[in-house]
Amino acid sequence: MTDTDRPYVVFSDVDETLITVKSMFDFLHYQLVRRQGTAGEEEYERIMAVIRARSADGTPRADINRFYYSHYTDESAETIAALADDWFAERSSSTRGFYIDSTREALRAHRAAGASVVLVSGSFPPLLEPLAREVGADAVLCTRPRIVAGRYTGEVDTPVIGEGKRAAVLRQLAARPDVDPRDCHAYGDHISDLPMLELVGHPVVVGDDSELREALAQLSTSVRTA
Give pairs for 31-38: CB < 8 Å, separation 24+.
31/80, 31/83, 31/87, 34/83, 34/86, 35/83
Question: What three-state secondary structure class fits 3?
Answer: coil
Length of the chain: 226
Residue 221, pLDDT score: 44
User: Between vectors from CA 155 to CA 11 and to CA 129, what angle results, nearest 5°?
Assistant: 35
State how far the Cα of 67 lies from the Cα of 60, in Å rounded to an integer.
11
pTM above 0.85, yes or no: yes
Q: Which of 65, 32, 16 is nearest to 189 (CA)?
A: 16
Element (H, E) at 12: strand 9-12
Residue 218, pLDDT score: 82
State how far the Cα of 103 lies from the Cα of 90, in Å rounded to an integer.
21
Backbone angles phi, psi at 104, to 5 degrees: -60, -45
The CA–CA distances, whole Å, from 179 to 102, 198, 219 equal 25, 16, 21
Q: Report residue 29 CA to chain centroid gap.
A: 18
Q: Which of 148, 117, 145 is nearest to 132 (CA)?
A: 117
| Residue pLDDT tens, the chain, 226 long | 445 578 999 999 999 999 999 999 999 999 999 999 999 999 999 999 999 999 999 999 889 999 999 999 999 999 999 999 999 999 998 656 899 999 999 999 999 999 999 999 999 999 999 999 999 999 999 999 999 999 999 999 889 999 999 999 999 999 999 999 999 999 999 999 999 999 999 999 999 889 998 988 887 544 455 5
Burial state string for 171-204 with b = 16 or more CB within 10 A and e = fewer than 16: ebbeeeeebbbebbbbbbbbbbbbbbbebbbbbb
Element (H, E) at 204: strand 202-205
Exposure on the CB side of residue 62, measured as CA atoms within 13 A = 13
Q: Report residue 190 CA to chain centroid gap.
A: 11
